[in-house]
Structure 1
């Protein structure tokens, strides 16, 4: 698990950018510890990596949000089918 500051440093993003990405749905919601601090899992870090690279490739924020929503629906379907 990694805190928001370390995750931001890892991807050369600001803490505010990570909070913004989560708030608008560019990355799925991040779990929080008992103190309310975000704890980024490997899966969360993979989402940040993907979002950063897709933005770098020119994908719009709106397209990223749609992509995440579709991916989350797929995960729910996979869980329901299991």
Structure 2
């Protein structure tokens, strides 16, 4: 049976975001943060897979992820 509990308290995440950005944060911001995180991870894995194929490897490795992390972070910088 699946648990319906949340992985984190929404209010705590809102407080962290408000402290970090010094701006007001709406109630549903945690959903947007989660979706942005998913998009970032998808882009990171796609870039790392492409990098591995360019170097002639069959599998993606940690070194491939390290090589594309900075460039992927730059794409998501607001």
Shorter chain as denominator, the TM-score bin is: 0.3 to 0.5
Considering only CA atoms, is the larger Rg found in Structure 1 or Structure 2? 2
TM-score normalised by structure 2 residue count: 0.34
Bigger relative CO (Cα 8 Å, ≥ 6 apart): 1
TM-score normalised by structure 1 residue count: 0.33
